[in-house]
Structure 1
């Protein structure tokens, strides 16, 4: 592992800080919004075990979001402006994580989890040797948990595709057709992308990560008997999320998870930081 170029916030110039913030916001927002969608399944999952498992996945994702939001707080942000009071058009998560969960469609959620966490594991591997030391210090825990998330989703997809039920297989295929174009937005470039790579904040380009991701997910999904859309022929969604442009699903979700904060007019909302952090 190489010695990080930036030991902390004081080592960053204006352009370097701007690039780091862009990277951290995308990472944190992806995780936070993914968790918000997962918790919609509470008490509705197919089994008690799967309910608990997805609750654990959501908890992990909130924890990962906290890691990255904490680094943004170290750069001078307050939690209110990071989450509760940040306008929805300033969030930069990919559209894959914001899409409304199709009612009762467990296959849709398990496929979304697999597509997202496979990409997330690759992204974490690309910041293991980040030039920003505080980012490197937090990656190992995230990698271990993302591996579990992916394994959990794969076990369910194996089961759903092997049930011998035409209806079950159709549900998985329908979910793939719906989600795959939005999964590609995980690799859409947002502002300051060139600086992120040039400064070594992330050591791989989005194009390289996309290729690695396709090399993993396409053979696996095809092994389940699924017809995977041709990536270069997929119609790109009108919005990618990375530039703050989102689907209507996002604005509805944002209103839901900020409602209590707005209604109770908290002077100081519950913090994501742990005691003594």
Structure 2
């Protein structure tokens, strides 16, 4: 595909260009923020002190990445409060993988979820590395290095958990539960807009190609650990609507969500609402000022 023409500054974009960029940014920001919220639930509950600290650091990284993307959405006048604390729950566009409540006390759930997400995140960032929108392209490099650590952490734990039959069975249970939801990472927010994202060069790859790359990576690796990934057995030719490719009823990208999401949303917005806040205090520098 020929290199896409560089898109202009935020205020010079056409309505169609701005809409495509906004959809891409919401995918990025909402995923990172919501999965970070879930990771924080493991504080002082992880199996070792080292893993507790590691997941705390990963959550902090994901919050920081979300901030990088939400900051770009503020180019058109939105505030952080508009985008996070006051945005209605049914307007979020994260994958439903990110919102699911953890199986109670099951560390395998956290590790499988992290692995499935982190491989997809690496593929997504690579597809944005040469984005035609400079403000996206310029931030990808800040994130890629940290994501490598997240993935290494997940893979080390997966291999450790799969060394024995009992813990491998817990990993398999988590994989069976989470894999269909992981597929929603590659669902469009809107098919027409997603086609435009690629046509404009905002992202270099269509979602269906990114999903195939993800399957080509995660399936052989998981099977090498004696795990079964039956749901990934797809025909050679398929598209987003293939009848044999079932997704959960709640995809997330299309603003359909599980009950778990609405409970989580109420939890993280509770203090803001109870205190009658109208704005959020910023404790990080604006990335454009660094």
Q: What TM-score, normalized by structure 2, do the two folds share?
A: 0.91
CA RMSD of aligned residues (A): 1.6
C-alpha change, 1:244 and 1:146, in structure 2 (3 Å) is same
Structure 1: 5+ residue stretches without partners: none
SS of residue matched to 1:171: helix
Distance 2:206 2:230 in 1: 23
Distance 2:4 2:231 in 1: 40
* Aligned length, in residue pairs: 275
Q: Deviations over 1:248-268 (max 9, x none)?
A: 100000000000000001132
Structure 2: 5+ residue stretches without partners: 235-243
Q: Deviations over 1:108-132 (max 9, x none)?
A: 1000000001000100000011110
SS of residue matched to 2:218: helix
> Which residue number corresponds to residue 21 of structure 2?
20
Distance 2:135 2:150 in 1: 24
Contact 2:4 2:200 (8 Å CA) reproduced: no
Distance 1:65 1:8 in 2: 21
> Which residue number corresponds to residue 51 of structure 2?
50
Contact 2:128 2:140 (8 Å CA) reproduced: yes
Distance 2:107 2:118 in 1: 16
SS of residue matched to 1:230: helix
Post-superposition offset of 1:272:
6.0
> Which residue number corresponds to residue 145 of structure 1?
146
SS of residue matched to 1:219: helix
Post-superposition offset of 1:234:
5.6
> Which residue number corresponds to residue 72 of structure 2?
71
Post-superposition offset of 1:24:
0.2
> Which residue number corresponds to residue 266 of structure 1?
277
Post-superposition offset of 1:8:
2.0
Post-superposition offset of 1:59:
0.5
Q: How does 1:182-201 map to 2 (within 5 A)?
A: 182-191=181-190, 192-201=193-202
Range that drifts further, 187-196 or 41-50 = 187-196
Q: How does 1:48-197 map to 2 (within 5 A)?
A: 48-162=49-163, 164=164, 166-191=165-190, 192-197=193-198
Distance 1:272 1:92 in 2: 25
Contact 1:4 1:129 (8 Å CA) reproduced: no
Range that drifts further, 264-273 or 136-145 = 264-273
Distance 2:126 2:189 in 1: 20
Distance 1:71 1:268 in 2: 18
Distance 2:230 2:39 in 1: 25
